[in-house]
Amino acid sequence: MSQGKVLLSVQDLVISYGNIKAVKGISFEVYEGEIVTLIGANGAGKSSTLRGISGIVPYKGTITFEGKDLKSIPADKIVAMGIAQVPEGRGIFGNLTVMENLKLATWSRKDKQEIPKDYQRVFDIFPRLSERQGQLGGTLSGGEQQMLAVGRALMSRGRMMLLDEPSMGLAPVLVREIFTVLREINQSGTTILLVEQNANMALRVANRGYVLETGTIAHTGTGLELLGNPRVKEAYLGG
């Protein structure tokens, strides 16, 4: 899969909160068209890495997207450059309707005439959201909220999508549904960077993975390689 060009590059990334270093100088690339996953336990630095890319925490090191340095670019402009976000804990606006949640994500888009087509696409992928268009986000179930979070990211139409633990708190059947959708989204041309604790699911869907341990990259390889790696198996896949 690494025949494409580098879309996102992270070099020597260091993220600290006060005296605590959450990410200790990691480097990795995401090639165009790939699904790459960062897996690891709580506190391994996965979410911090993602927050660094999104531009919501300060960092040392270099992050580039399509060759452009993202440092000192505000978070909203990073989305406008083409990085769509599915935030940790879904981040649905509970006081807004499903439709309003989707509409807001189109704020920075220039191609306004394409937007109706994308609503249709979101509703085709998630018919449940179509039924609930006028319902407040806060009244949706966890699974529906996750669908809405992914739908919103589709509406901001990035070339790349960042997802922070989309499987969190969902029943296994819903997790499978979400991951199937992620694969479809990827096949239609969106590059995906996926942070997950559910290593098993994430590695099955990903082309490549990085295993983070206490802020450094401990293992790397294709999804299948990591699934077969005995040490990864023991630590993250339940033996």
Q: Note the residues at the interface with another protein (CB under 8 A).
A: 54-56, 74-77, 79-80, 85, 87, 91, 93-96, 100, 103-105, 107-109, 138, 152, 156
Instruction: Please name the helix (run of DSSP H) or strand (run of DSSP E) that holds residue 54, with its range, or none.
Output: helix 46-54
Select 74 or 127, whichever has its Cβ closest to another protein: 74
CA 50 – CA 47 distance, rounded (Å) = 5
* Residue among 31, 61, 35 nearest 49 (CA): 61
CA 22 – CA 14 distance, rounded (Å) = 8
Torsion angle of alpha carbons 92, 97, 99, 102, nearest 10°? -20
Q: How far is the CB of 45 from another protein (least distance, A)?
A: 19
Select 4 or 138, whichever has its Cβ closest to another protein: 138
Q: How far is the CB of 226 from another protein (least distance, A)?
A: 28
Q: How far is the CB of 100 from another protein (least distance, A)?
A: 5
Q: How far is the CB of 105 from another protein (least distance, A)?
A: 5
Select 193 or 232, whichever has its Cβ closest to another protein: 193
Q: How far is the CB of 95 from another protein (least distance, A)?
A: 5
Select 26 or 78, whichever has its Cβ closest to another protein: 78
Query: Tokens 């999804």 map to which residue?
Result: 223
Residues facing 85 on adjacent strands:
162
Residue 111 CA to its chain's centroid (Å)? 23
Torsion angle of alpha carbons 164, 170, 172, 177, nearest 10°? -70
Select 46 or 208, whichever has its Cβ closest to another protein: 46
* Residue among 55, 83, 50, 91 nearest 196 (CA): 50
